Structure 1
Amino acid sequence: MSAATEAHDQAPPTVREAGAALVALVVATLVGYGWYLGFHLENVHNGLIGASFTAVGLYVVRMRPRHREGWLFVATGVLHAVMFFGRQYGLHDGPLVGASWLGWVGAWPLPLAIALAGWTFMAFPDGRLPSPRWRFAVVAMMAVAVVLAVVSALWPVEYDRIGLAAPHPLAVPGSEVADRVWDYAQYCYVLFQVLWTVAIVVRIRRARGDEARQMRWLVFAVVAAIVLLVVGLLAFGSPVPGLLALPLIPVAAGFAILKFRLYDIDPVINKSLVVGAMLLLIMAAYVAIVVGAGAVVPADERVLALVTTAVVAVAFEPLRRRTQRLADRLVYGHRATPYETLSRLSAHLEDPPQDLLDAVAATVAGAAGATEVVVWVGDEHRLVPRGRWPAATVDAGPAMLAELDGPRRLVRPVVHRGSVRGAITVRKPAGESLSATEVRLLSDLVAQTGLIIVQLQQAQEIQAAARRIVTAEDAARRRIERDLHDGAQQRLVTLGLELGALAKQAEAGGVAMADRVKQARAQLLEATAELRELARGLHPMVLAQSGLEPALAALADRSAIPVRLHVAEAGRLPRDIEATAYYVVSEALTNAAQRTPGTGNGAAGAGRSPRRTLR
């Protein structure tokens, strides 16, 4: 095959065009004259394969002369065209010149045709096998096919099945032995089909990017032909629908090889699988009830048809859902469908900010089949990674938006109201790119991520503002406390000491004057105590020295209503957090005391002992 390819490539364009035209003319003559000789249902598929494979192969070779798969298509089509003409000639009722030999030519190449078609599928879409080890499988398959073809050429082992009217032209002894051997040897056809099916599955699992889409085109055409074949056999007892669908395979393969309008075919395959499976289920229900039950239970055919309709109506939707899930798994693999992807993202909207961005990265990875996803937050001049999948991804430092693009990394900026708020970087496996469905889904996820980032930034701004307010209030309280302690309180203490000394001197001058000085000193001490209490109310000393738990315990002791206190063992907290918690509890106790009958402003009931439970 490679020698023919090189000869074709090195020939002048005119010679190549003439050679292609000659092959097309020969195949058209064989197929056209074969149809002219009559219609034989069991030989229809050979004519369809010969015409379609040759036409697609010649077009591929014309567009891409070095494409090996095109040559395999041409060889497969020419061989089937020869077989079709030979069988049509040998099946003709009237005596035709050379019918025995031409019918013989239409029979014995069958093993070679099946093996060559298998080789063509195994080498799809580039004409190369999945790996060098598959060469031995192809060589073995072709060798077995040659042996089977020789047996079929020497003895009429295929004549009874084909029904050729003309006799076998050779009279080689051992026909009975050959028939017995052929009864087992023809199972090699099944082995050929299993072999190329395994090769296609292996290639699909390894395929990436455009090659994966090309394989899906082939699988779609094969599955469609098989579904039509089964439906035709079940519904009409005829393989005609499936045989007429055979040209879909080379046509779809040709589109895939040339990448002509290579749209994402995943949704088409998905729906085709669901529709085909449901048709098979409906046919199976009809056969089971109308044919099976009708043969056991005597009933009118219309009644059985109504029963079948009722059963299908009840079971259709549950079966459709199960079939849809199976089709999704076959088409998308372990990737989530678009609906499942958005549902999973919605389920994480209540997560903490860091976990939410990690969930966004995991959702994008599951939807796009990515190996790495990073969510960046910031503007186009400075972006910081905030979410990643997988969790073991190496942390990256801040970067500009223009610096994020790299090998196999796709960058999608997160834009909200015309401003860049972040970016999502997606790394796909080598040789694989985003499909049309994945591009649309990623765009939706990027839009949702923009809203999430904006909300997180707003929440962070609110938290920062609240933290600044608490810090400012705590600083103001400490400043007032310091001013009272170092200013007015210190002067009052000094004045109290001077009044104490004056009282001792006044005792010598008279009892009345000494009493008045003592009273003034007592009032001064009370004012100092009240001022000290006021300073502690701004920021209690016990809170600064011992922490939140003793400070809350002091509040509980002074409360006008019974209090049961539970304090978690959290250790010392930041000063602003302890101050905030203390004043929140203090305000709550004050409000509760004011609303409790008989407590007044907290004075009444002050003697009631509080209940405190520390934990």
Structure 2
Amino acid sequence: MTGSTSTPTPMRRHGARRWLPWIPFGFTIALLAGTVVLLSLYRASGAVDPDGSMITVLLLTLVVFAFAGVGALTSSRYPANRIGWLCAGIALAWATAGFGLGYINYSLNVNALPGARFIVLTQALWNVGFVAPATLLPLRFPTGKTMGGRWKWIERSTLGWLAILFVSAGVAPETVYRPLGRGFEIQSLRPAMTTVVNIAYLALFLLAVFALASVIIRFRRADWRERQQLKWLIYAVALLVILMVISSFVELAGVTEVANLVAVVGFGAVPIAIGMAILRHGLYDIDFVINRTLVYMLLSTLIGVVYFGGVAVLQGLIGLGGDSELAVAASTLVVAGLFQPARRRIQDFIDHYFYRRRYDAQRTIDAFTSRLRDEIDLSALNEELVLVVGQTMQPKHVSVWLIGEDGT
């Protein structure tokens, strides 16, 4: 009787662990929906929108949704791994701060809403939304645990400075964010809190640098599987940096919506990479992804330089001004003819210098295949096969068994 009554308990507990992560996911979705509704009402009122277009808000909503979804999925699969809970917390912080921003804007500029004084405090959560991905996630990725020792102090220091910023948002909101409401402002504390907040931001920046350095140290200590997981994070961060630089140049060109789209793609890559690494879906494809990214980024740069350079040179030579359709058509034909040869050359270059081991292995296999067509001596073929396997796979031991016609 005792065994039969105690059996369902761990099952219920396990079931609770599986659905519990979806609670913050539900709150996040509700807040995102509320933000979109508030912005729609705000724009319908005819008030000037100080915080970007609806398209920008929707793009940012997709990033928050990605963090929330990855957090719920990973936490339900691996409840003990805090990476999923961190992703869920980041999404909830962004969603809450975004909803609070829309609530305050509507209350100040369209129609007064109750509780705006308290909603002001939600703006401090922007700090959590940006500091956690830069510091707390790298410290714990991918196992969900820090490496102990000094790294725990970095995490605790980060949480302490975030708490200071949260208090500052209440008593001196102008020191933390653009003042949309009065909050619980104490005028006499503003000078002192300004100094404290500046120190806090400097400290958080340094802590983020240490946290990112921990990824390199963890990578050097990790086994092969954990290194593959870390590669996903490193890849996403590198892609984010590159796309943010591109976004800055696009914005300088005056195409704000395109710049926002490029930036959102960069931010969205981070939660997707985290999900791939923790859930281990396509974990070992990261080397292929990195390879193709390098190839097509270099190819895109080359094609762009050739195209725009060709247009400029041809327009100068034929003197048809800035609208020369002939120059554009000629440059397009050159680019079309250049694409495949350039892609192959760049692929060989990347494989040769960055994937040397795989490049040499492929060349060895190709050479063996060509010799195989002409080789008729079985013993020589056996030696060739053992040599190729040793060079490409590098096993500790290689043996070849040949089965005769009689099965022996």
Quote the residue 1:300 is aligned against: 322
Q: Report which stretch shifted further, 176-185 or 263-272.
A: 176-185
Q: Which runs of 5+ in 2 are unaligned?
A: 1-9, 41-51, 373-378
* Partners of 1:112 and 1:149 within 8 A in 2: no
Equivalent pairs, count: 368
Q: Pick closer, same or farther for the CA change 1:156–1:420 going to 2, 3 Å.
A: farther
Describe the superposition over 1:43-78 as per-residue Cα deviations: whole angstroms up to 9, x where unpaired.
667644443323322222222332332222222222
DSSP 3-state at the match of 2:39: coil
Residues 1:124 and 2:141 aligned together: yes
- Write out aligned runs for 1:176-575 (5 A): 186=201, 191=206, 193-223=208-238, 229=244, 234=249, 236-237=255-256, 238-244=259-265, 246-260=267-281, 262=283, 264-283=285-304, 299-302=321-324, 320=343, 323-324=346-347, 327-328=350-351, 332=355, 335-336=358-359, 338-342=361-365, 364=389, 367-368=392-393, 370=394, 373-376=396-399, 379=401
For residue 202 of structure 1, report the CA deviation from its aligned partner: 3.7
1:375-398: CA deviations, max 9, x gaps?
Answer: 446x4xxxxxxxxxxxxxxxxxxx
Mapped to 2, the partners of 1:285 and 1:140 lie a distance apart of 50
Distance in structure 1 (CA, Å) of the matches to 2:322 and 2:406:
72
Q: Which runs of 5 or more structure 1 residues have no equivalent in the other structure?
A: 1-8, 380-414, 422-615
- The reply to whether residue 51 of structure 1 matches residue 52 of structure 2 is no
Contact 1:348 1:359 in 2 (8 A): no
Deviation at residue 336 of structure 1 after TM alignment? 3.4
Structure 2 counterpart of 1:172, one-letter code: Q
Equivalent residue for 1:98, pick from 115, 128, 153: 115
1:203–1:335 Cα change, 3 Å: farther
Distance 1:194 1:287 in 2: 38
Q: Is the 8 A contact 1:289 1:308 kept in 2?
A: yes
Q: Please give the alpha-carbon distance, in whole angstroms, between the structure 2 residues aligned to 1:51 and 1:338.
A: 42
TM-score, normalising length: structure 2: 0.67
* DSSP 3-state at the match of 2:397: strand
Q: Which moved more, 1:233-242 or 1:340-349?
A: 340-349
Kindly provide the CA deviation profile for residues 171-222 of structure 1, in whole angstroms up to 9, marking residues without a partner as x. Answer: 4336467657766864556545544443334444444343333334444544
Work out whether residues 311 and 331 of structure 2, in 8 Å CA contact, stay in contact via their aligned partners in 1. Answer: yes
3-state SS of the aligned residue for 1:126?
Answer: coil
Any conservation in 1 of the 2:386–2:399 contact (CA below 8 Å)? no
Cα contact 1:34–1:84 (8 A) shared by 2: yes
User: Offset of 1:32 from its aligned partner?
Assistant: 1.4
Give TM-score scaled by structure 1 length: 0.47
Secondary structure in 2 matching 1:250: helix
User: What is the CA-CA distance between 1:362 and the residue it aligns to?
Assistant: 7.6
Rounded to whole Å, the distance in 2 between the matches of 1:257 and 1:355 is: 47
Q: What residue identity is the alignment partner of 2:89?
A: A
User: What is the alpha-carbon distance in structure 2 between the residues aligned to residue 181 and residue 311 of structure 1?
Assistant: 58
Cα distance in 2 for residues equivalent to 1:203 and 1:357: 43
SS of residue paired to 1:264 = helix
In the TM superposition, what is the alpha-carbon distance from 1:38 to its structure 2 partner? 1.5
* Alpha-carbon distance in 2 for matches of 1:182, 1:134: 23
Asked if 2 retains the 8 angstrom alpha-carbon contact of 1:361 and 1:373, the reply is no
Decide whether the 8 Å contact of 1:69 with 1:124 is kept in 2.
Answer: yes
Judge which range, 73-82 or 335-344, deviates more: 335-344
SS of the counterpart of 1:239?
A: helix
- Higher relative strand content: 1
CA–CA distance in structure 1, aligned partners of residues 271 and 370 of structure 2: 45
Structure 1 residue aligned with 2:13:
12
SS in 2 for 1:58: helix
Does structure 1 conserve the Cα–Cα contact (< 8 Å) formed by 2:19 and 2:76?
no
CA deviation string 1:110-162 (max 9, x = no partner): 333333223223322221235655334333444444444444553413434xx
Matching residue of 1:112: 128
Tell me which protein shows more helix as a share of its residues.
2
Question: % of aligned pairs identical?
Answer: 23
In structure 1, how many angstroms separate the alpha carbons of the residues matched to 2:381 and 2:148?
43
